[in-house]
Structure 1
Amino acid sequence: MKKKLIAMTLLLCLAAGVLVACGDNSAQSTGEETSQNTEEGAVQGAEEEAAETVQRDFTFGFNYMSYSDALGKKIQKVTQQTCDILGVDTNYAEFGSDMENTISTIQNQIELGVDAVSGSFAYSEILQMCEDNDVVQMYPSGYISDPDMLQYVAGMSNFGGFISENDYEAAYDAVNTLYENGCRNIGLITMPDGLADFMDQRNQGVRDAVAEHDDMNLITDYQGFPGDYGTYLSQWLSVYPELDGVVNTSNDGTCEAAIYTAEAQDKVKLAVFDLQDGTKQAIEDGIVAWCATGQENTWAISVILAYNQLCGHDLIEDNTTVLYRPFLYIRSAEDVEIYDKYVDGDIPVYNEEEIKALIYDYNPDVTIDDIIAVNEAYSIEDIAARRGE
């Protein structure tokens, strides 16, 4: 028993000696491990914090005339795809052909608790509602030119920015395309002046382009709402035998149908904004000489801008700045084929990687210059190149 006690005492002494002898090294090793663990913990904490930042709880409200027409379907599809990528809930509403319903429609969405809402019409009531209720107003495919309203927009804290196609430039190009196709006496079918600035720009672009040609005339125009455009074109075909071209600034598909019905395929050329279900065939048949489309992807950029702003990273310094994007122009059957393959299919024009590259939560280095670069590059050729073919 004594031997066991002696042996245990010797072992304890040896152990104590070893600890004393290695004391400095052990302390140094422990310090390094602690520092390393602290650094690893900081990195892990940062990663966890970053993961938390992308778990946002937002609802975006979208309103449009009708989601049953071709453009409405595309807008709903693109905005839903974009919001799904960002984890944003959505609310969709229609206001029909009566534009005054836009105000009550947006009011209802705000009352439902949306964090951002689309509203591309120059109504002071909408601007005021969004500002008063701390709701970001998205303004896709539109802008405001009224000085008083712009002054109000400049001071808003809940404005998501103007993001729009260059409507004036496109309308000017539409007329010149008709001119190149031999049209000299044309009509204009459009929405009422003063309804929306982007539509006013289209109307003015048509008138200015016609005035540039001494041998071209704007012989008639109709201002109304989609749904009855074809009826008026049918009347024109009877009343104006010299009519050889028409610009339709908000295509509802009825003008193409009116040309087929009157068997005027070889007489009248159309230039239309918006690609409807029958427009592709009309392009292939030579009825439509020019089509501006692709506006639905402008709405994706508007969602991106609003999302960043809601997260506290407003990329736009001046609310009155308009970020312009080109339309996608279709002038031939070959263009239709490219459009069908790269734009009108199930693959989003902007995929998840490309969208998140424009979101601060995923890319803290993102700036407005990145948004501008994406806008300026937008074309059928750009889309085909990004899809790897």
Structure 2
Amino acid sequence: MRRIMSLVLTVILVFSLAGCGSSNRSDSSAGGAKVTSGADQTTAEQTGTSDKTDKVWGGKSGETCGDPNGQYTIGVIIHTTTDFLCSKLKAYTDYMGKEFSVKFNYYIIENFADETYLAAIENLCAQGVNGIITTNFSGTAVLQGLKICEDNGVYLGVGFSQIDESIKDQVYASKYFVGGSYEADYQAGYDIITSLIDAGCKNIAAIGYEPGITCHDRRWEGMMKAFEDHPEVKKAGEYRGLEFTKAVEDFLASDDTIDGIAITLLGIEYCQEPIKAAGREGKIKIAFCDFSENCQEGLDSGFVSCAIGGQYVDVVFPFIFMYNALNGTPLSEEKTEVPVNFITCKTGEEFSNYMTYLHKDGVYAWTTDELKQVIKKYNPDATADDLVKMGASYSIEDTIARHGK
């Protein structure tokens, strides 16, 4: 009876979140795209559902990809599947899923609150998934999410975020935590500031996502360290929140000497129009994390001094850990989180190469044949260290060397 009541309450919570829309995320999605609830995505007729799924979703299901009749089903909790980054991430899982007989079920969250993640994990477990990959899930709530997975016999992997040091031992001790991956966010924050300095900027405004998301917090820390290391450069001001475009407008209205803007997420989408409206085109450069289709023009023109992204590959690492575990052949007894390089582009040529060799349709950092080398089913000698080496070598140059021109 308690489990039935828990399930009913969870369903009520999910639909109450769906009813909130994205009003509290104006400008706040990491990709700038409108975010909708996973329960609103596609009908059961489009995706195919079981009676168990119908009870959880009220006749609807989240987005799916990969092999619809896969041996395993892995849920992915993410904020969107439509922006430049996450649409590519989903395409990669579709590609891997079809090769490795895995169905991916995407649960689209409306915000990054702990209770939103926990509700998503509850619902995916109730659907009967074999594993869950969560993105940007951090803090001590990971322990609560892992407990839900343990109670349901479901594996958990984490992407785009590192497990907090305060709970790492507890998380690693669970047989249901398979591993995770995270980017060099601190270094990325540092690099976007120094790129502006190298481009001649003397008065730089710093803009970041509101505190609480590990990747953005670390990018912010890197930015602040770069300012500390370069006292010859003025910091025009700081803003952390959700109203990014307004923050740019306010900075430009209050200081006509600003010549650089650094932002921990998409830059062009939030900066270009305010700069144009202020009559400051050609006088301000920007640097940021997260690629978009507009990076090419910005880098070619010199408006963008540095764009950092390419992290769609992040999903590979928790997936490989999980797939090995599901097959009963974990890569190692010791749990591992893989540090993954960013791709840094400071010229239009670099971004063009990124698009050609890493991002265009049908092109991925590692082919499924290459991924088989880190799956014990195909290569009994595969180890977690092999994944760590992959994360460390990820670059445009490495991909060109492996895949050729």
Q: Scaled by the length of structure 1, what TM-score is found?
A: 0.80
* Residue 237 (1) aligns with residue 252 (2): yes
Q: Is the partner of 1:324 in helix, strand or coil?
A: strand
Following superposition, the deviation at residue 140 of structure 1 comes to 1.3
Between the aligned partners of 1:85 and 1:221, the Cα distance in structure 2 is 46
Structure 2 contact 70–103 (Cα < 8 Å) conserved: no
Q: Deviations over 1:86-140 (max 9, x none)?
A: 1101101211245342322222112111111122312232222222222221111
Q: Is the partner of 2:286 in helix, strand or coil?
A: strand
Match in the other structure for 1:385: 401
Aligned positions, number:
330
Q: 2:207 aligns with which of 189, 193, 196?
A: 189
Following superposition, the deviation at residue 284 of structure 1 comes to 1.7
Between the aligned partners of 1:263 and 1:67, the Cα distance in structure 2 is 35
* Residue 65 (1) aligns with residue 79 (2): yes
Task: Write the letter of the residue equivalent to 1:207.
Answer: M
Alignment RMSD (CA, Å): 1.9
Structure 2 contact 131–156 (Cα < 8 Å) conserved: yes
* Residue 90 (1) aligns with residue 107 (2): no
Between the aligned partners of 1:359 and 1:178, the Cα distance in structure 2 is 42
Match in the other structure for 1:371: 387
Between the aligned partners of 1:263 and 1:127, the Cα distance in structure 2 is 51
Between the aligned partners of 1:171 and 1:91, the Cα distance in structure 2 is 32
Following superposition, the deviation at residue 293 of structure 1 comes to 1.0
* Residue 77 (1) aligns with residue 91 (2): yes
Q: CA 1:236/1:388 → structure 2, altered by over 3 Å: closer, same or farther?
A: same
Equivalent residues in 2 for 1:40-59, closer than 5 Å: 57-59=71-73
Q: 1:343 aligns with which of 336, 358, 368?
A: 358
Q: Is the partner of 1:343 in helix, strand or coil?
A: helix
Q: Is the partner of 1:259 in helix, strand or coil?
A: helix
Instruction: Tell me which of the two structures has the higher relative contact order, counting C-alpha pairs closer than 8 angstroms and 6 or more residues apart.
Output: 1
Between the aligned partners of 2:279 and 2:321, the Cα distance in structure 1 is 47
Q: Deviations over 1:187-242 (max 9, x none)?
A: 2222222x2322221111111111001212333222223xx422221221111222
Task: Write the letter of the residue equivalent to 1:150.
Answer: K
Q: CA 1:86/1:263 → structure 2, altered by over 3 Å: closer, same or farther?
A: farther
Structure 1 contact 256–287 (Cα < 8 Å) conserved: no
Between the aligned partners of 1:382 and 1:308, the Cα distance in structure 2 is 25
Between the aligned partners of 1:316 and 1:289, the Cα distance in structure 2 is 41
Between the aligned partners of 2:170 and 2:389, the Cα distance in structure 1 is 28
Match in the other structure for 1:271: 287
Q: CA 1:136/1:259 → structure 2, altered by over 3 Å: closer, same or farther?
A: farther
Q: Scaled by the length of structure 2, what TM-score is found?
A: 0.77
Q: Is the partner of 1:143 in helix, strand or coil?
A: coil
Show structure 1 runs of 4+ deviating over 6 A. Answer: none
Percent identical among aligned pairs is 27
* Residue 117 (1) aligns with residue 135 (2): no
Match in the other structure for 1:157: 175
Between the aligned partners of 1:206 and 1:318, the Cα distance in structure 2 is 33
Q: Deviations over 1:47-92 (max 9, x none)?
A: xxxxxxxx97210111211112211211111122122221101101
Between the aligned partners of 2:179 and 2:301, the Cα distance in structure 1 is 40
Match in the other structure for 2:154: 135
* Residue 178 (1) aligns with residue 196 (2): yes
Q: Is the partner of 1:312 in helix, strand or coil?
A: coil
Q: CA 1:247/1:209 → structure 2, altered by over 3 Å: closer, same or farther?
A: same
Q: Extract unaligned runs of 5+ from structure 1.
A: 1-54
Task: Write the letter of the residue equivalent to 1:333.
Answer: G
Q: CA 1:263/1:282 → structure 2, altered by over 3 Å: closer, same or farther?
A: farther
Q: Is the partner of 2:359 in helix, strand or coil?
A: coil
Q: 1:250 aligns with which of 265, 270, 279?
A: 265
